[in-house]
Structure 1
């Protein structure tokens, strides 16, 4: 069987039920109330697994070579996770998602939620050193990974682990929570502030900044609505305001401005 061909622009998101949104909102409230990184780490490690139905979640801080130097893991799994960090660091270059995205030396360029099987078939996965030496021994056969980018030399990556395959709903729930986590990480200065002059965000409202960050990540209006919990029509209005403020004719013009850092006169 040939290896999977990861979709351009990242895996598609799916609609969530009212019950799933209710569960997410409980965690989102906790996330935005966090006043310190240790508090945020514990929310990630202990609340997210319960909400999305995973075995355990790890908050990984690392350098540009994806060498882990700080991890926060779901309570009760510390004895399993911490001894494996040296082995993970040694074999990280064989990690299917890290390898597939070219993450080493290229942090934070992708903000999607990926799984092992987006890059390897189950048969191929069994031959990967990091799976054979790490995940197989702890009966973890499935993982979701998403990046919270700090800068060119430091990063935070979330990994979600399960014995069974993740559903598209679970992946979407992680994507929604990931974006709220990044907003709070920026506020707590784990990640550079969103009003960074390199992005020209100082001319946008708080909600427009959130939509803007999804726009430049290539998300559609529907996907942005799912992530932010608003309607596609509301997203469309925000996009119209953003394009107007940047004096951009369309999304492509906006992306060109971002790439060239050419902001309008009333921006940076």
Structure 2
């Protein structure tokens, strides 16, 4: 995907003239503004498209290398004042807060139908990295220490970690359907075992259960932020599908 996106953004092939036209057409409907899209990483999308690209790949690479060199130099100069204490493993720091994470997630999936419950719980087998929940609890610890000098994670903060993993897993179920994936984490995907139609329902149910858990927190700011995350997630998928379809059309062999 990364290689494909790089080719999409930085290729100077004439075929991408139509890509700009497509993005200008579908951009407003997808919420990207009147032109191809709003700012992505500080640069507007239309700069990356077309043969006369202002920010070509060599230029962006040069900017990145200069930024990396600058930040590395600053880091080295500041590191002289830091003690020789070794950095702690973040997964060890947050392990206590994420104990029984997947068991608690399964409690949120209150399903009466055995088959639907089996599908929803299929990816919550403890074999995932739980990277997103780990970030949530570590940030919660850091904020709590600065706010009230407490390193303990609150129940509502842990709920956010659970919800983040549920949203992520629901997106995986749908991704496997879109990509026609046949394996995930060393085993067959939900869509390969139960079929695409049932897999769609399983992903939708996980997302709805996450929304119920989100509403239970009762904090309007958290609800607004995570709702925006779900919206951005869906828009990103639709946007990538549009570009993928266009690439397929452009790469059709001419008769």
Fold shared per TM-score above 0.5: no
TM-score category, normalised to shorter length = under 0.3
Of structures 1 and 2, the larger Rg is shown by 2
TM normalised by structure 2 equals 0.26
As a proportion of its length, which structure holds more helix? 2
TM normalised by structure 1 equals 0.25
As a proportion of its length, which structure holds more strand? 1
